[in-house]
Structure 1
């Protein structure tokens, strides 16, 4: 009998834990998706009301995410047969196709590796997590929601675009940033950089807070 996987928590800025798993689209190894961004998300259980609304909502943004070079991957502690039946049910009853793979994590190996099990909520179901993994396999952001509340798809899209914008232009994004809005130029780190910054033509509120259009 294999030893139980110790619970742990991924760390932003470090490599996302690799895994191999069975999914509704066949076997999947995270490292095989290198070159794409990955949004890995968990749901508590198949055939449950909040999760059903979320799956339809994720399906609704799947095409836009694909245009951003993002692969969606779902997960819960259910069998692949349950996943397939639920996906079929969503198609038959709601008229929505689920285009992304869903991991069957019956042994909880992936869930434990990613800190998806929170005993204060349940010891046998995952909470609602969202992990943003970049095209180099690095963990870039994490969102955790309780089992009782569904996630915001506009925020998942917004954060994906913000992360990719920061990478592409070497900038940060302000609170509530939306694509097309001004971004933040990284703050200078020396007195010389401060003097230079104030002459570079940015929209500066002060030496440490400057904006620009991209």
Structure 2
């Protein structure tokens, strides 16, 4: 078995509903323990293939540009790749310069690959010069109870749409506390759908004036 294949087989799996595996790591913002760092905030742990690469430069810049949007939602973003802390620090200068931003969220030193292995982030098709796997474009949304609520994985050639990640967080934060779900292409302010297990009587109390399209499809903008 090749060294690369052996490393890939060491990976563990994280699923929606799991408690996000805790870890301690060195970052560009100092040492952190994931659960302690998040506290009562939501978290977005996202990985990128490698420092000093074009798509990743635009992605990390976009996360920095969205600082106020993360703050509105009580979300802390955290970046990760298998690069060293020194590499991250040098690359941040390029990100800030080219993307007109200030990267002030933590980037994890992933040189030991421990977080990548625990979260199943390694990509069998993207390798470094030594033929060892790099990280995929993974996204883990973690709620204040440290539960993984959303997982997305993108191919190396496709940059992420962080507006979509914000949209999903808006949905999660609303549907976690109200008896609603969000339909296709939903954005905050659009009609949401009432859960099927909510009776019409309860629905009228919770969402007065709701609309019945079909008995199983009831919508409301009052949330």
What's the counterpart of residue 45 of structure 1? 50
Q: Using the alignment, how far apart are the partners of 1:163 and 1:74 within structure 2?
A: 21
Contact 1:74–1:101 (Cα < 8 Å) also in 2: yes
- Report the Cα distance in structure 1 between the residues aligned to 2:179 and 2:112, rounded to whole angstroms: 40
Change (3 A) 1:82 1:100: same
Structure 2: gaps (5+ residues) = 1-6
Q: How many residues align?
A: 207
CA RMSD of aligned residues (A): 2.0
- Check if 1:83 corresponds to 2:53: no
Which of 28, 46, 64 lines up with 2:69 in the alignment? 64
Alpha-carbon deviation of 1:89?
Answer: 2.3
> Paired residue for 1:137?
146
1:151 corresponds in structure 2 to 160
State whether residues 125 and 133 of structure 2, in contact with CA within 8 Å, keep that contact through their aligned partners in structure 1.
Answer: no
Distance in 1 separating the partners of 2:21 and 2:204: 44
Deviation at 1:118, TM superposition (A): 2.4
Counterpart CA distance in 1 for 2:194 and 2:55 is 39
Q: 1:6 to 1:34 in 2, by over 3 A?
A: farther
Tell me the CA shift for residue 31 of structure 1.
Answer: 1.0
Deviation of 1:121 (Å)? 3.5
On the 8 A contact 1:197/1:207 being kept in 2, the answer is no
8 Å Cα contact 2:126-2:133 kept in structure 1? no
Query: What is the aligned partner in structure 2 of residue 29 from structure 1?
Result: 33
Q: Residue 6 of structure 1 corresponds to which residue in structure 2?
A: 10
TM-score under structure 1 length normalisation: 0.90
Partner of 2:218: 210
| Deviation >6 Å, runs of 4+ | 197-200
Q: Offset at 1:212?
A: 1.1
Superposed displacement of residue 197, structure 1? 6.8
1:135-158 Cα deviation digits (max 9, x unpaired): 110000011001111000210111
